[in-house]
Structure 1
Amino acid sequence: MGISTMKAGKKTSLLIIDPANRGHKGNYTCTVRNTAGTVNYTASLHIHGTGDYTGHLVHGAEASPWSQLLYRSALLPKIVPFHFDSPIFAGEATQVTCLVSQGDPPLDISWSFQGTHLSSQMGVSTTKAGKKASMLLIDVANPGHKGNYTCNVKNPAGVVNFTTSLHIHVLPLIVPFHFDSPIFAGQATQVTCLVSQGDGPLDVTWSFQGADLSSQTGISTNKFGRTSLLLIDPAGSGHRGNYTCTVKNPAGVVNYTAHLEIHVLPLIVPFHFDSPIFAGQATQVTCLVSQGDAPLNILWSFQGSELSSQTGISTNKFGRKASSLLIDPASSGHRGNYTCTVKNPAGTVNYTAHLEIHVLPQIQPFNFNPKGVNGGSSTRTMCSVIAGDSPLNIRWLKDGQPLSESRRRIRKLDDVTVILSLAHISLDDSGNYTCVASNAAGSASHSSVLKVKEIPSLLPISLPSEFNNEGDYVQLTCVATKGDHPITFSWFLNGNVVSPAMGVSTVNVGRQTSLLIVQSVTFKHVGNYTCVASNSGGQENRTAQLVVKEHVSCHIPCSFPITSSVPEPGHC
């Protein structure tokens, strides 16, 4: 039929009629399909006269439809005028076709750009369509393609050419920019938005997190030709985020965004313990981080050591930015410096508060011998303060009154110890002894009772008469007027313990009297009777002599001693 088609690139198809005749007259339709659907365009070919014609119908998918019908004559080549579409944008595709409507063969068709042969032009391709047409295709236009394109046609009759200009709207091109590595709050930083290409005039603006920068404190911008400088001095936590440079020109709008990361050190709100507290009370402080990058790691230390082993201290984290320290109950060992340390990716900060604890004196308990001490002996006890603020004042009281020296000696061993010594103890030394320790926090005391053991005190043993007759009833009385109870009474005759076998009996009357009874006295009962009274404090004794008179019958006057406790022979 004399009709052929040729695909040029991805977006163009060429229909060629060579030579044209009346049979080619009619409508020609180009149909284009893709995943989105189908479109078509129809052009009509009219053929005049009866001679032979060569017709070329070219349809570009993105170009305006057009058709030309040419009549052949033996002349110089004649180029059908062509033009690029209206100014295009960089990145788009465009094409033109140089069609020779007449001219003697052979035809030599070539292209040039800005007077230079096109063979070296990147991104531009030419395709010959039949003998009389050549198509120039720019698939992805860029600013370098802007200029004059010339189609040159040569045949034996001569050379002709036709030139058309390509105008490209060039969007701004921003050279990528970045902030320095993450900075710390308080430092300064800047970035430059440089427009390397793009039609003028250029309008360069900045935004932060999508909002205009005009209201941002600490940020300034300055424009120098095709460059705009953004300066942040000093940077704060509120400056962290995305900064966008937006450039407008007649071709359109472009932008570039850079993220600024600011390392913000933690900021601890100052804290303090309450006024000095007393031992036994509870206290707490809270370490609150008002600002700083997450995550936050909050730790406590005491006197430079980690708190984990501290008795009576607990810590609790509240949310992400607070930690409380509780001491319950407080003791002297809790006095010192407590430090809250906060770490985050930006670094480490800490804050220290001092806890002062008023500690009352604590006295080591002491006691006198619970069984008591013997009169006349010596004893001593020590009052030691095992806890409490210095300086200490330590003193002794007896029955609530300051101790007088006399037989008592008070000696300070050191700042926390005072010794009380008692010599030649008597009943007067019995009583309640109290050690009082005082300091700025208050006073403490401890008491112990000293019991002095009282030995029995006996009255002289009483006898019914100085001399006793054999067979008389004799009773000896031993009375203890003083002495701690219980009192034990023992009787001895000439150093030997008396017993019923000796015809002697003893009996206690009450707690302080003992009787020795001889129902019928004989000479064997004559001798020294000793009463011994004993108690926990010691013993006391009294002795009495029992004398028995002897009865003698004789006719001769006689004489014999009657005061002897041992019978002697009489003389008559």
Structure 2
Amino acid sequence: MGFGLNIVASPQNSERCLIVLWPCVTTPPDESKKRRKQTNVYFSVSSFLHSAAIQVQITPAQGEISVGESKFFLCEVVGDAKDIDWFSPSGEKILLSRPNISVSRSDESTSILTIYHANVDNAGIYKCLAKNADKEAQATVQVKIFQKITFQSAPSPQEFNEGDNADIVCDVVSSPPPTIIWKHKGSKLQSAKDVRYKIMDNGHLLIRGIKKVDEGMYNCEARVMARGEIDFRMIKVIVNVLPTIRARKSEVNATADVGESALLACDADGFPEPTVTWAHNNIVLETGDKYSLNEDGSELVIKEVRKVDEGDYTCIAKNKAGEKTEEVSLNVFVLPNITYFNNQTASEFDDEVTLTCEASGDPTPTISWRFGNRVFTEGEQSLDRNVVVRSHARVSSLTLKDVQFTDAGRYLCTASNSIGEDNQQLFLEVRYSPKIMGLVVAHTWEGNPANISCEVAANPRASVVWFRDGIELPTANSTNIKIFNTPTISILEITPESQNDFGSYNCTATNVIGSESKEFILIQAEVPSSPKIEEVQPFSSTAVVEFEEPNSLGGVPILKYRVEWRLPGKEWKSEEYKAEDDMTRITIVGLKPETTYEVKMSAINGKGEGESSRSSTFKTEPVPGEPTSPILEVILVKSSNSAKVKWTKQDDGGSPIIRYLIRYKAKHMSDWKPETHLPSTSNYAMLSGLDWNTDYEVLVVAENQRGRSEPSITSFRTASEPTTVPDTADGGSGLGTGAIVGILIVVFLLLLVAVDVTCYFLNKCGLLMCIAVNVCGKAGPGAKSKDIEEGKAAFSKDESKEPIVEVRTKEENTPNQEGGGPTEPNETTPLTEPEPAAADSPNTAVNRLPPAAANSVTESFSTPQTNSSKNTAAALSNSPKADSECSVGPLVDLSDAPKVAPASSPPVLEPVSPPPANGDRPQNPCESVRAPSSTQSKDLQVDGQSNDARCAPCSDSTTSTQNDGKTVKSDNAKAEPEVKNATAEVKTVPNEAPRANGNESKA
């Protein structure tokens, strides 16, 4: 460096130099401290040699500051500078005391300008000036202040009312001004696509007629392209809906003063959920003693409604969007109430008397009057104008002119309006002289007491005296006359001893107003004339006699009718029947089929028996047959696996239908379901629990006393099983665990009972069998086997489950053919009804039977059908076939009555050949146990046959069809002493066998 060169380092680039006199020494850029020392050396050398220039550099050379940010600038001076100053864009020197701009000097050659929290006013050219004596240098830096994207106002959420023009606020500032983009549900909103949207000049989003569907999140996005700057805000838009309100009832009616409450209700909707309040007469109602509101205020209950509560009530629904009101009218009605009435007293033949009644109520009640069965309203009420009703407002009066004693009594005043009525009794007392009423003629005969009644109406009460030929009764010598007095009736009892006691008797009644007399006549009674037989309606073993009562009753009531009948040329048989009101029919029972009879009648009163009518001839009908098959119809139950099987009754074969037998099975199955028995009154059966979408066969058989009809068969197919189960109406959760467990327990118990019942009927074992053996005395399985081995009995395959008959001493009537059908089948009713006993069987048939041991049991044997495939009827019936002769089994006498001595040689009864059977159809044998006759069983029957009767075919024991007349059957049993010794009960083992007496027993 000894070349005498002056080296000046360039302040912009330390690697560049200016050669003056001295060799150039380069300084690496990373050695700034060494450079500064060399520079100082330079300035020292320069100042030593000569006066050199000052240089100034500002770092950074230019500056961009975001509003609100802070930044500093470094001013470096090359050379010896005494002062370093900073000047603002306005040319003013920046002092150290300025609040947001400060200047600091760290050493001799540097000065720092710091701008805190810059704003747009701080922008401009700042100058750094360095001075040394008369030398100075300066450098400038341009400071640019820009605004970053700033959201001044973008509140969230922003709420609007539905239908309004919504101005969604999003105020954004930046420099340069930003570009605003709006997005909703991820899509950019454009006015071209939806005219309801518009982006305003200020960047706001305008939605015309905003809807509830416009609710949601909106994205306000700001962009500055020059800087690539972007920012956004999510704004939640809420659309409030003005409340809508609807009253459940615009008018509510209530009744006052009865403790009733009135419910006023309105339903409000809107967003947000509106609050509901009620007001009456501009006063807001709150829950208290008088009013109560539910939780949401939609229901207002007015307690103990009174008339003052009537009026309009306002239901107010309010939310942020506004409020709506609805009026509900409360109409309060008042029940009628009779507030005034008066009772009256008058004398007969007074000009008039007036009853008054006053009532209150809302609506104003109308007042009516009632006397007995007559009703009086406003205006004239009788042709003679003796009854007049006048009403004004709430008052009504009833005026009676020309008062009669019949006007006395209780009058009912009734006030009524649309919501109720009120009644009040008023009494009119009429004073009048005695009035004698009653029948003036009485009939009797010598020795029979007769009562002559003298009914007296009087006010005040009258005294009554009886006279005969001017002499007051009773006299000292009249021991056959007695008098009994009551407040209104005087009874003269006469027991005629001779013809002189018949004739006229006088009754005289007297009170303070007047007196009245009346003659009564006692006439001697006669026997009645003969009744007239109109028609005889015959049946196989009975006949219904229709007759007219005698023209002359003889003055006294008829007590009995005597009916006599006979075979032509034979002796008359007779029976007496107690006379009843409107009696026009009498039924004769115990007749022979296809037999001619004569019949005649006579009437009996207290005087005696009258003449007999002319005899009429009739012929009984033949024995009826089996019924005709019923007509079937199947109705499927909708959405169910059940079916209703209906049938229509056809010809009953001359004998009433006893019951119907029903069986069914699935077509693909070979076994039929167990047979079901229904009474004759039934016309349908419900089949439940069927398999879905399955073909079924069902057959129905009608049964009467002669047998069973051919089975009626029909087929049907059940519906398909539903694929879904509909929800319950209330959306409940269904059965709880406890309910399900309970159901399972019940089903399990039912299965146990079913198994036990099956074991009882099939194998004679199980719990029921134990109860039957130990409690009811039923023979066990061992006893049954023993009886079979001894040949005493056998059972059919299916029908052994029901007893043949159980005969008790209970009184039973013979059923009519149609009107009085057989009793409803029960456990003791046989499947096939027996033929009735021959009409002329002797009454002492039981006494002629050999005695039976106390523990003996009568069983009958029948062979079941073997070929069930040829005829479907075999599936229904296992009835025994007819035997060639009648068999009489021993009876079990369970009573304490004396035993009947055994007959030395019991007679053998021969049956009449039964009607021909058809193939496999069940027959009706005469094999049965003969029950006690009518004299022992208390049956109301007339036995019209001889004692040498054989076992006759089963005959119809029914009577004629019903009509308006009454039917009476004979009752020989009441007069027979054998009733006391009749057996209490006769039981036979279960079997399907007919009975001999033709009377269906009751369990």
Scaled by the length of structure 1, what TM-score is found? 0.53
**Are the structure 2 counterparts of residues 364 and 108 from structure 1 closer, same or farther at C-alpha, using a change threshold of 3 Å?**
closer
The answer for the alignment partner of 1:119 in structure 2 is 94
Matched, 1:89 2:66: yes
Matched, 1:382 2:365: no
The answer for the alignment partner of 1:139 in structure 2 is 116
Secondary structure of the corresponding residue to residue 406 of structure 2: helix
**Are the structure 2 counterparts of residues 342 and 399 from structure 1 closer, same or farther at C-alpha, using a change threshold of 3 Å?**
same
1:134 Cα deviation after fit:
2.0
Query: After superposition, what is the alpha-carbon deviation per residue over 1:326-364, rounded to whole angstroms, capped at 9, x for unaligned?
Result: 468878877654432456787764211345678776555
The structure with more radius of gyration: 1
Listed as ranges, the matches of 1:219-258 within 5 Å are 220-224=197-201, 227-234=202-209, 247-249=222-224, 250=227, 252=229
Secondary structure of the corresponding residue to residue 59 of structure 2: coil
The answer for the alignment partner of 1:200 in structure 2 is 176
Secondary structure of the corresponding residue to residue 92 of structure 1: coil
Query: After superposition, what is the alpha-carbon deviation per residue over 1:218-251, rounded to whole angstroms, capped at 9, x for unaligned?
Result: 9744243xx3233354567899999885534338
Matched, 1:290 2:232: no
Whole-angstrom CA distance in 2 between matches of 1:127 and 1:511: 143
Whole-angstrom CA distance in 2 between matches of 1:168 and 1:151: 19
The answer for the alignment partner of 2:977 in structure 1 is none
**Are the structure 2 counterparts of residues 381 and 92 from structure 1 closer, same or farther at C-alpha, using a change threshold of 3 Å?**
same
Report which of the two has the higher share of strand.
1
The answer for the alignment partner of 2:371 in structure 1 is 398
Whole-angstrom CA distance in 1 between matches of 2:253 and 2:87: 96
Whole-angstrom CA distance in 1 between matches of 2:109 and 2:286: 95
The answer for the alignment partner of 1:425 in structure 2 is 403
Could you tell me whether the CA contact under 8 Å between 1:284 and 1:324 is conserved in 2?
A: yes
Secondary structure of the corresponding residue to residue 150 of structure 1: strand
Could you tell me whether the CA contact under 8 Å between 2:456 and 2:462 is conserved in 1?
A: no
Code of the residue aligned with 1:418 in structure 2: it is: S
**Are the structure 2 counterparts of residues 215 and 398 from structure 1 closer, same or farther at C-alpha, using a change threshold of 3 Å?**
farther
Secondary structure of the corresponding residue to residue 116 of structure 1: coil
Whole-angstrom CA distance in 2 between matches of 1:274 and 1:229: 49
Could you tell me whether the CA contact under 8 Å between 1:273 and 1:283 is conserved in 2?
A: no
Query: After superposition, what is the alpha-carbon deviation per residue over 1:49-83, rounded to whole angstroms, capped at 9, x for unaligned?
Result: 9x99759xxxxxxxxxxxxx987622111335632
Code of the residue aligned with 2:178 in structure 1: it is: L
Secondary structure of the corresponding residue to residue 73 of structure 1: helix
Code of the residue aligned with 1:284 in structure 2: it is: L
Structure 1 unmatched runs, 5+: 1-42, 56-68, 459-478, 490-507, 514-532, 543-572
Secondary structure of the corresponding residue to residue 94 of structure 2: helix
Code of the residue aligned with 1:323 in structure 2: it is: S
1:96 Cα deviation after fit:
2.5
Could you tell me whether the CA contact under 8 Å between 2:153 and 2:172 is conserved in 1?
A: no
Matched, 1:318 2:295: yes
The answer for the alignment partner of 2:527 in structure 1 is none
Whole-angstrom CA distance in 2 between matches of 1:384 and 1:364: 6
Code of the residue aligned with 2:399 in structure 1: it is: S
Matched, 1:151 2:128: yes
Structure 2 unmatched runs, 5+: 1-29, 376-380, 437-453, 465-482, 490-508, 517-1003
Listed as ranges, the matches of 1:173-572 within 5 Å are 173=150, 188=165, 190=167, 195=172, 198-200=174-176, 202-205=178-181, 214=189, 220-224=197-201, 227-234=202-209, 247-249=222-224, 250=227, 252=229, 266-273=243-250, 284-291=263-270, 296=275, 298-301=277-280, 314-319=291-296, 322-326=297-301, 336-342=311-317, 349-355=324-330, 363-364=338-339, 366=341, 368-369=343-344, 373-377=346-350, 378-387=352-361, 389=363, 394-402=367-375, 403-404=381-382, 406=384, 408-435=386-413, 447-455=425-433, 483-484=458-459, 538=512
Give the number of equivalent residue pairs: 413
**Are the structure 2 counterparts of residues 484 and 246 from structure 1 closer, same or farther at C-alpha, using a change threshold of 3 Å?**
same
Could you tell me whether the CA contact under 8 Å between 1:457 and 1:540 is conserved in 2?
A: no
Query: After superposition, what is the alpha-carbon deviation per residue over 1:181-230, rounded to whole angstroms, capped at 9, x for unaligned?
Result: 9997765564765555x23361324589x998959999744243xx3233
Secondary structure of the corresponding residue to residue 68 of structure 2: coil
1:427 Cα deviation after fit:
1.4
1:414 Cα deviation after fit:
1.2
**Are the structure 2 counterparts of residues 340 and 72 from structure 1 closer, same or farther at C-alpha, using a change threshold of 3 Å?**
farther
The answer for the alignment partner of 1:73 in structure 2 is 46
Could you tell me whether the CA contact under 8 Å between 1:185 and 1:264 is conserved in 2?
A: yes
Code of the residue aligned with 1:203 in structure 2: it is: T
Could you tell me whether the CA contact under 8 Å between 1:240 and 1:261 is conserved in 2?
A: yes
1:420 Cα deviation after fit:
1.0
RMSD of equivalent CA atoms? 5.7
Whole-angstrom CA distance in 2 between matches of 1:106 and 1:430: 147
Secondary structure of the corresponding residue to residue 419 of structure 1: strand
The answer for the alignment partner of 2:592 in structure 1 is none
**Are the structure 2 counterparts of residues 98 and 310 from structure 1 closer, same or farther at C-alpha, using a change threshold of 3 Å?**
closer
After the TM superposition, which of the residue ranges 273-282 and 342-351 deviates more from structure 2? 273-282
Code of the residue aligned with 1:412 in structure 2: it is: R
Code of the residue aligned with 1:110 in structure 2: it is: D
After the TM superposition, which of the residue ranges 337-346 and 282-291 deviates more from structure 2? 337-346
Whole-angstrom CA distance in 2 between matches of 1:330 and 1:417: 26
**Are the structure 2 counterparts of residues 70 and 266 from structure 1 closer, same or farther at C-alpha, using a change threshold of 3 Å?**
farther
1:400 Cα deviation after fit:
1.0
State the identity as a percent: 19
The answer for the alignment partner of 1:472 in structure 2 is none
**Are the structure 2 counterparts of residues 416 and 448 from structure 1 closer, same or farther at C-alpha, using a change threshold of 3 Å?**
same
1:119 Cα deviation after fit:
2.9
Code of the residue aligned with 1:229 in structure 2: it is: H
Report which of the two has the higher share of helix.
2
Could you tell me whether the CA contact under 8 Å between 1:300 and 1:338 is conserved in 2?
A: yes
Could you tell me whether the CA contact under 8 Å between 1:221 and 1:228 is conserved in 2?
A: no
**Are the structure 2 counterparts of residues 107 and 300 from structure 1 closer, same or farther at C-alpha, using a change threshold of 3 Å?**
closer
Query: After superposition, what is the alpha-carbon deviation per residue over 1:369-399, rounded to whole angstroms, capped at 9, x for unaligned?
Result: 5xx6543455321233422546x76544432
Could you tell me whether the CA contact under 8 Å between 1:285 and 1:326 is conserved in 2?
A: yes
Whole-angstrom CA distance in 2 between matches of 1:263 and 1:283: 33
**Are the structure 2 counterparts of residues 304 and 364 from structure 1 closer, same or farther at C-alpha, using a change threshold of 3 Å?**
farther
Code of the residue aligned with 2:295 in structure 1: it is: F
1:126 Cα deviation after fit:
2.2
Whole-angstrom CA distance in 2 between matches of 1:327 and 1:510: 63
The answer for the alignment partner of 2:749 in structure 1 is none
Could you tell me whether the CA contact under 8 Å between 2:387 and 2:400 is conserved in 1?
A: yes
1:174 Cα deviation after fit:
5.4
Secondary structure of the corresponding residue to residue 428 of structure 1: helix
Could you tell me whether the CA contact under 8 Å between 2:58 and 2:74 is conserved in 1?
A: no
